[in-house]
């Protein structure tokens, strides 16, 4: 029989932290490695403006310290199972450890853009930091980190050779805690653009206005891998890169000797991609076009390609209710299937399909089921060459399935 929570008010622990009782299933999840506590799993709330709390079981035994979430379905993000405080010393130590874990990326001297901090996967919940040559971009998704942005900027300046620290807190993740959306400079400025390299291509991004923190750094390794396989298996072939954005896949394949057509419906993205192609010294045929429509037209025309890349934005959005969320998921899987079905229909035998999903709500199993259905409907037997996710600078935290959000799979069409 599950013990019922006591109606008694929130208590103060001896350490001065508000003691928040959580139900047994939440205790089990924390111990199993899931560092999040749902609001439905807490039995009381701390006073307003609380940042750090002590999570306890229903008998009052301490379980972990956590950053409190003021509103929304998420109540707390685990900070420590060992009683570490949430202060400058611990923040500095965890930032330094996160950077040290990326040292293998820097050994060759070729990587000048990468993720430094990846939230819970680096034991820094609600904090994301990307490095671009001489700048870092900070994103915070929880109030406790948001309030420490000036401190975080100072600590990062001690760790990295940077001239600028940019804040990009203008995304939907802020809405989870009713935090205001904002962006700007914490240090340096007013230069907004950064030049860096992505899989060997020279790229430029506007750190204040381009998507995410300026670029999709999580796909850099996949840009290089797809280009390498295309060069090996389809030398000199014709490639189509849909949802190209700033041209990551397209530029890498063009540098590998393929003829590349690339599309995106965002005119600003295509303008940036064309500029990046000039910087990289390659020719790509860029089009401002909706990928769904372009695939349909190529299929109707009988066009065929040796390589097709599908890298759409997150199609599976969260709904405000369970019913809306399920509807959005159903619509997203239909969209994924249409993209993959049409891509398979325009590939030559022996051609390559690189297909991606960056939707955290789409599991590996969901993605695989969709792809099996698309291949069956297209009547094309597929050989799986590899399955990859985000680069090692975007690590998956074991126990947190949502951190394995990116899927990039490469198939060969056998007939």
Instruction: State residue 324's pLDDT score.
Output: 52
Instruction: State residue 327's pLDDT score.
Output: 79
81 by Cβ neighbours in 10 Å (0-12 / 13-18 / 19+) ranks as: middle
Peptide bond connecting 190 to the previous residue in cis, omega within 30 degrees of 0: yes
Collect contacts of 311-314 with beta carbons under 8 A, ≥24 apart: 311/219, 311/241, 311/242, 311/243, 311/244, 311/245, 311/249, 311/354, 311/356, 311/358, 311/408, 312/242, 312/243, 312/336, 312/339, 312/356, 312/357, 312/358, 313/243, 313/358, 314/357, 314/358, 314/359, 314/360
Phi/psi at 115 (nearest 5 deg)?
-85, 130
**Mean pLDDT for back-to-back runs of 10 residues, the chain (415 residues):** 39 73 96 95 93 95 94 93 91 98 82 96 97 96 95 97 96 86 94 96 97 96 98 98 98 98 98 98 98 98 98 77 71 96 98 96 94 98 97 91 92 97
Instruction: State residue 318's pLDDT score.
Output: 61
Question: Rounded distance, CA 342 to CA 296, Å?
Answer: 7
- Is 358 among the catalytic positions? yes
Q: Could you tell me which of 314, 309, 320 has the C-alpha nearest to residue 333?
A: 314
Sheet arrangement for strand 305-310: 285-288, 259-264, 238-242, 305-310, 347-357, 407-413, 382-388
Collect contacts of 337-342 with beta carbons under 8 A, ≥24 apart: 337/370, 337/373, 337/374, 337/377, 338/292, 339/242, 339/291, 339/292, 339/295, 339/310, 339/312, 340/310, 340/370, 340/371, 340/374, 340/375, 341/374, 341/377, 341/378, 342/292, 342/295, 342/296, 342/298, 342/299
* Catalytic residue from among 234, 263, 358, 408: 358
pTM of structure: 0.92
SS (H, E, C) 111-165: CCEEEEEEHHHHCCCCEEEEEECCEEEEEECCHHHHCCHHHHHHHHHHHCCCCEE
Size of the chain in residues: 415
Distance of CA 132 to the CA centre of its chain: 16
SS (H, E, C) 53-100: EEEECCCCCEEEEEEECCCCCEEEEEEECCCCCCCHHHHHHHHHHHHH
């Amino acid at each position: 029989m599950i013990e019922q929570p006591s109606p008694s008010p929130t208590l103060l622990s001896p350490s001065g932290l508000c003691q928040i009782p959580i139900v047994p299933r939440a205790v089990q999840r924390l111990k199993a490695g899931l560092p999040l506590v749902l609001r439905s799993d807490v039995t009381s709330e701390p006073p307003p403006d609380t940042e750090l709390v002590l999570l306890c079981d229903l008998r009052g035994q301490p379980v972990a310290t956590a950053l409190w979430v003021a509103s929304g379905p998420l109540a707390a993000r685990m900070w420590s199972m060992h009683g570490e405080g949430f202060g400058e010393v611990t923040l500095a130590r965890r930032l330094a450890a996160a950077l040290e874990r990326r040292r293998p990326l820097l050994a060759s001297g070729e990587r000048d853009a990468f993720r430094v901090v990846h939230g819970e996967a680096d034991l820094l919940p609600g904090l994301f930091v990307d490095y671009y040559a001489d700048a870092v971009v900070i994103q915070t998704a929880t109030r406790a980190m948001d309030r420490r942005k000036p401190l975080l900027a100072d600590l990062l300046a001690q760790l990295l050779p940077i001239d600028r620290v940019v804040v990009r807190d203008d995304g939907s993740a802020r809405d989870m805690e009713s935090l205001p959306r904002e962006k700007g400079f914490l240090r340096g400025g007013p230069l907004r653009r950064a030049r860096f390299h992505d899989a060997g291509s020279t790229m430029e991004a506007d750190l204040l206005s381009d998507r995410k923190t300026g670029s999709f750094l999580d796909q850099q390794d996949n840009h290089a891998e797809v280009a390498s396989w295309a060069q090996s298996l389809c030398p000199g072939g014709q490639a189509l890169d849909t949802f190209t954005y700033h041209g990551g896949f397209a530029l890498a394949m063009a540098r590998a000797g393929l003829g590349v057509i690339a599309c995106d419906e965002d005119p600003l993205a295509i303008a940036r991609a064309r500029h990046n192609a000039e910087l990289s010294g390659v020719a790509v045929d860029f089009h401002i076009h909706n990928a769904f429509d372009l695939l349909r037209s190529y299929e109707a025309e009988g066009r065929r390609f040796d390589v097709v890349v599908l890298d759409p934005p997150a199609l599976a959005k969260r709904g405000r209710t369970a019913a809306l969320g399920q509807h959005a998921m159903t619509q997203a899987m239909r969209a994924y299937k249409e993209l993959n079905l049409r891509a398979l229909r325009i590939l030559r035998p022996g051609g390559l399909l690189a297909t991606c999903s960056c939707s955290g709500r789409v599991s590996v199993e969901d993605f695989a089921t969709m792809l099996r259905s698309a291949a069956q409907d297209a009547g094309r037997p597929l050989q799986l060459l590899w399955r990859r996710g985000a680069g090692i600078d975007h690590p998956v935290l074991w126990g947190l399935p949502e951190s394995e959000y990116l899927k990039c799979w490469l198939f060969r069409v056998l007939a």
